[in-house]
Amino acid sequence: MTSEYLKFGSSLFGTDGVRGLANVYPMTPEIALALGQAVAHLFGGHRDSARSIVIGKDTRLSGYMFEDALAAGMCSMGSNVIQTGPIPTPGLAFLTRDLRCDAGVMISASHNIYQDNGIKFFARDGFKLRDNLEIKMEESIRNRTFESYRVSSEKIGRAKRIEDAAGRYGVFLKEKFPIDMTLRGLRVVLDCANGAAYKVGPTVLSELGADLITLGTRPDGRNINENCGSTDVRALSEAVRSSGADIGIALDGDADRCLLVSEKGDLIDGDEMLSMFAEDMSKRKVLKTPLVVATTMSNLGLEKYLQGLGVSLARTGVGDRYVVEEMRSKGTNLGGEQSGHIIFLDQNTTGDGLLTALQALAITIRSGRTLSELVSKFQRFPQVLVNLDVTERKPFAELGKFSEELRKIEGELAKTGRIIVRYSGTELKARIMIEGEDQATIEKFADSLASLLHVELGSSSVDN
């Protein structure tokens, strides 16, 4: 047993697969090899008939290392491997189904900086693995149970690369856009974050007829999400204003989320998009149930807006896969996150930034209204979000002064606001979100909690 495996005392998986600094535990090639073996074992790669697993990645430098390590592990268990090269996460989910694979694996740290990377898993139906399956994989690695299932030399799997992966996904996207519509006459600025959609995004929008201006389409392995994409829309907003564009589209590194910029250069977040999509789908009677699913982070303004449409809001924990699970259990087809993960469950199995953008464009064409007009009735409650770098994740209930102050603030907010305190599932950060009727009051509350947390957890920086 190597030292790598001795560190599995805590959970390997976070809210969206395994994630961390590349080449530092747990994001090492040794762990990737073991994950490849574990997922192949989980989905039956050791059986007599060979299984197939598809691997996609974004544009990070470390993606090559993890791609080969995963493939080696899968082949050692008798699974055949299909490598797509750079492909958006929703494209990988689609290809898992389209290629009739037994599982899919995406190598990406989404919106994080290039030094980070992650590995997330999809079942053959294109949905992310449920917690119980991730636990099985982790137990298999910790106990090394898959080792006895390595295949003999003559049954080792093959790895091959397919060159038309992005093209297949592009066709899928264009089929989701109304057949009687084109984008001719619309000027669109698209920021691909130097990420996975740098080819397929411009191709799809151009082929649909858009007058297209592109940003973030020159990845070099290190510039993914750097001053671009959904994490920084300043350049996009300026490009929309200066070019007189009708809309700006900001994707993240793996293109599973999308934020929009109106013709005025104003940011449109996931909550505003959900309000727009819910109203449109309700009017067209394609919202399967009068229910939208979002997370605890979505603004109270969304809940109030939906109530005016006769639509309820169900909340889940943070993470698009939890939104998807709730949508499936409730039988609804619209959900998402404030961060820009929007899920149209009758069209794809996960958040899809390009699909979201196309649906927004269809609404503007269908309504004849600008994006700013479509979201003009949405009224956001004042909100403060504070992110703190921390050195450890102690239960908040064990932090005496912080816990006491938190209970006090919860009592003062009562029914006029909300407070959410949680740790990030993908980064060593604590997040404090407060909503209320008065901006100054909630800022005071947030500052008080952040100061106490800074002392009790040894946080190194604060990011509002």
Active site residues: 110
Judge residue 154's burial from the number of C-beta atoms within 10 Å of its C-beta, 0-12 exposed, 13-18 middle, 19 or more buried. Answer: exposed
Could you tell me where the DSSP H helices lie in 144-269? 165-176, 200-207, 234-243
Beta-sheet strands, E only, within 132-277:
159-161, 187-191, 211-215, 247-251, 258-261, 267-268
Q: What stretch of H or E contains 421?
A: strand 418-423
Give which of 356, 295, 302 is closest to 320, Cα–Cα.
295
Give which of 409, 414, 401, 399 is closest to 442, Cα–Cα.
409
List Cβ neighbours of 314 (8 Å cut-off, separation of 6 or more): 291, 292, 293, 294, 326, 330
Pairwise CA distance, residues 204 & 391, whole Å: 43
For the beta carbon of residue 266, count every other beta carbon within 10 angstroms. 17
Count Cβ neighbours within 10 Å for each residue of 1-11 and write b for 16 or more, e otherwise. Answer: eeebeeebeee
Pairwise CA distance, residues 152 & 410, whole Å: 61
What token pair was written down for 82? 């299909």
Q: What stretch of H or E contains 443?
A: helix 439-457
Could you tell me where the DSSP H helices lie in 192-319? 200-207, 234-243, 270-283, 300-308
Helix (H, G, I), strand (E, B) or coil at 148: helix
Q: Are 123 and 30 in contact (CB under 8 A)?
A: no
Please report how many Cα atoms fall inside a 13 Å half-sphere around the Cα of residue 370, on the Cβ side.
Answer: 15
Pairwise CA distance, residues 248 & 245, whole Å: 7
Cα 364–Cα 233–Cα 369 angle in degrees, nearest 5: 15
Beta-sheet strands, E only, within 290-374:
291-295, 312-316, 334-336, 342-344
Q: Are 116 and 21 in contact (CB under 8 A)?
A: yes
